[in-house]
């Protein structure tokens, strides 16, 4: 048993060393101003801080968050199907989806989802 633990630790150390060596050997990156600067919202961070912010970036981020939270809420609802009443479960799911669809329709109706202007 002690021998298997030592062999597993040695295999782990060997694989870590091989990964470090491979990443060091395969580095062919040139360091320039664009690669060394952080990418933030599609504008140059070294320029003036008073440049106008793209509202489309903000809207894409908000839509992503809305649908990401939707997934996080829908998964537990699906898991509770077996332990809850079917009628209550169906009403809850339908109301949740209707609220999301109404919000999406409201955004579409106000022209928020039109990217080409």
Expressed as residue numbers, the domain containing 97 is 56-117
- Domain assignment of residue 36, yes or no: no
- Cβ neighbours around 16 below 10 Å, total: 10
Task: Answer whether residue 100 is part of any domain.
Answer: yes
- Cβ neighbour number for residue 63 with a 10 Å cutoff: 14
DSSP string, 24-65: HHT------HHHHS--BTTB-TTS-TTSPPPHHHHHHHHHHH
Q: Tens digit of pLDDT for each residue in 2-16?
A: 899 999 999 999 999
For 47-74, what is the mean pLDDT? 76
Q: Is residue 13 part of a domain?
A: no
The first and second tokens of residue 71, run together, are 């997934």
Looking at the domain assignment, is residue 71 inside a domain?
Answer: yes
Predicted structure pTM score: 0.48
| Nearest CA-CA partner of 93 in 66, 62, 116, 70 | 70
Residue 37, token pair as written in the block: 């600067």
Name the domain count of the chain.
1
Confirm whether 4 is domain-assigned.
no
Residue 33 lies in a domain: no
Tell me, yes or no, whether 14 lies in a domain.
no
* 111 domain residue, yes or no: yes
pLDDT tens track for 74-101: 888 888 888 888 898 889 889 988 988 8
Upper half-sphere CA count for residue 4 (Cβ side, 13 Å): 1
């Amino acid at each position: 048993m002690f021998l298997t633990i030592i062999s597993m630790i040695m295999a782990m150390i060997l694989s870590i060393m091989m990964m470090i060596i491979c990443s060091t050997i395969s580095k062919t990156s040139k360091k320039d101003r664009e690669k060394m600067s952080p990418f933030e919202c599609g504008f140059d961070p070294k320029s003036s801080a008073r440049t106008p912010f793209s509202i489309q970036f903000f809207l894409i981020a908000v839509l992503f968050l809305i649908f990401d939270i939707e997934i996080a809420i829908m998964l537990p609802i699906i898991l509770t199907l077996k332990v809850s009443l079917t009628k209550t479960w169906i009403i809850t799911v339908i109301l949740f989806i209707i609220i999301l669809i109404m919000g999406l329709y409201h955004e579409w109706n106000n022209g928020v989802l039109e990217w080409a202007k």
